Amino acid sequence: MNNVTRRDFVKAAAVSSAALSSFNILGAQTASGIHTSKIKVGLIGCGGRGGGALRNFHEAAGLLGIEVEVVALADAFQDRVEKVASGYKLDTSKVHYGFDAYHKVANSDAEVVLMATPPAFRPVHFEACVKAGKHCFIEKPVAVDPVGARKVIAVGELAKSKGLTVVAGTQRRHRQSYLEMAAKVAAGAIGDIVGGSISWNMGTLWKATRTPGMSNADFLTRNWLNFTEMSGDHIVEQHVHQLDVTNWLMGRMPKAFIGYGGCARREVAGGNQFDFFSVDMDYGDGIHIHSQCRQIAGCYNRVGESFRGTKGFINGVKVSGKEVKIDPIIVAHTSGIIQEHVDLLKSVRGKGEPMNRSREVADATLCAIAGRMAAYTGKLIRWVDVSENVKSPYYNFTLSPAALDFENGEVEMPNELPAVPGEAKDWKEY
């Protein structure tokens, strides 16, 4: 990192959230320049999380005394968008469906757009919204391949230059307990981190079956959670949360990834993902973090992070080490998924530099993609080869079909077998 120590970095990240969180809610309405007028919001991706994010946005606005008007909804499918629309009694002119429907939200009079489609679409949707001058909430993960993740970084920079707020669904960055833990680490409670283990181990999730007459585009989109091209695989789709926490606390990105995984139990018909990953992340200076994730029923489950430091250790948000003094972390809500919208609204309506979380979530997504690549190929993947080295095939790697293929109606089914490490033929781009 350029002239910035790890502790400065972690501290800055903790403080920027805390500073926004520490506005007095009632005082903020006048003294901090937060206006309590109505805010117009749009949503792209009206599924479980999209509908949830819209409710969380309302709840956060309610805590700040801001009235919400939903002005545009979009989903690939009519049934999905109408389900969410029915909860808000919306005029049909505000309800859009189809793979190009996101343009209607980007070009609506929404001040803020929430995005919660499968991650394959995020870079393109995010770009359209930022170009149209919208403040954005982008669900994690934000891409499925290195080219997509770097596009999000570039669009995030564009948002910065336009003074737009970008908040991501990496909710731990907004949760009081995590902010307090990170502030203690920054204050030296456990010394320097020298190793760790992070995991998202759980049972299987849902699967959609292909019905007669269903197009490739509709099948892949309804069954997105089981195709790497749509979700990034579960190391990206779920485990990104732990990778984000790790990079946050480490204050830097890993240098290299070596891993393995496979498809031990999952029925592959209707999907091509692994059901377990085990990845060694080398952060340099002899520091290794073990990343593991599994979606297999009937096994030991654990979702969390633990780190060993030179003066103590962390298990989840519990810090065992030196007593340190930290500034109080004041939040409007202890739930990260509500507080992230409080922080978003304060940033949109507050004074000072807008919050912009695009880089952190894109870096965590790219980390997860690099881990997946290591496991799929069996090769060593260097961070530099996905982030900077334009000559590397990993840098230029894109999955297909991609977002624009859906919009253009040209969707070919991807390979429906999981990758075989050591064999290039199924993943020849590697």
Q: List interacting residues with ligand NAD (CB under 6 A).
A: 44-50, 74-77, 80, 99, 101-102, 116-119, 121, 139-140, 169, 171, 221, 237, 406
Q: How far apart are CA 161 and CA 421, in angstroms?
A: 42
Q: How far apart are CA 177 and CA 2, in angstroms?
A: 29
Q: For residue 317, give Cα distances in angstroms to 167, 189, 256, 306, 336.
A: 22, 12, 26, 9, 14
Considering the complex, state which of residue 165 and residue 221 has its C-beta at the smaller distance from ligand NAD.
221
Considering the complex, state which of residue 46 and residue 190 has its C-beta at the smaller distance from ligand NAD.
46
Q: How far is the CB of 397 from ligand NAD (least distance, A)?
A: 20
Q: How far is the CB of 393 from ligand NAD (least distance, A)?
A: 26
Q: How far is the CB of 332 from ligand NAD (least distance, A)?
A: 18
Considering the complex, state which of residue 124 and residue 185 has its C-beta at the smaller distance from ligand NAD.
124
Considering the complex, state which of residue 5 and residue 301 has its C-beta at the smaller distance from ligand NAD.
301
Residues in contact with 267: Cβ distance below 8 Å, sequence separation at least 6, in sequence order: none
Tokens 């080219």 label which residue? 147
Q: How far apart are CA 271 and CA 372, in angstroms?
A: 16
Q: How far apart are CA 430 and CA 374, in angstroms?
A: 10
SS3 371: helix
Quote the DSSP letter at residue 196: E
Q: How far is the CB of 80 from ligand NAD (least distance, A)?
A: 4
Q: How far is the CB of 118 from ligand NAD (least distance, A)?
A: 5
Question: Residue 293 corresponds to which tokens in the numbers above?
Answer: 């994730």
Considering the complex, state which of residue 100 and residue 157 has its C-beta at the smaller distance from ligand NAD.
100
Residue nearest to ligand NAD according to CB distances in the complex? 47
Helices 336-349, 48-64: axis angle to 10 degrees equals: 60
Considering the complex, state which of residue 116 and residue 186 has its C-beta at the smaller distance from ligand NAD.
116
Considering the complex, state which of residue 208 and residue 299 has its C-beta at the smaller distance from ligand NAD.
208
Nearest to 246 by CA among 278, 199, 286: 199
Tokens 């948000």 label which residue? 317
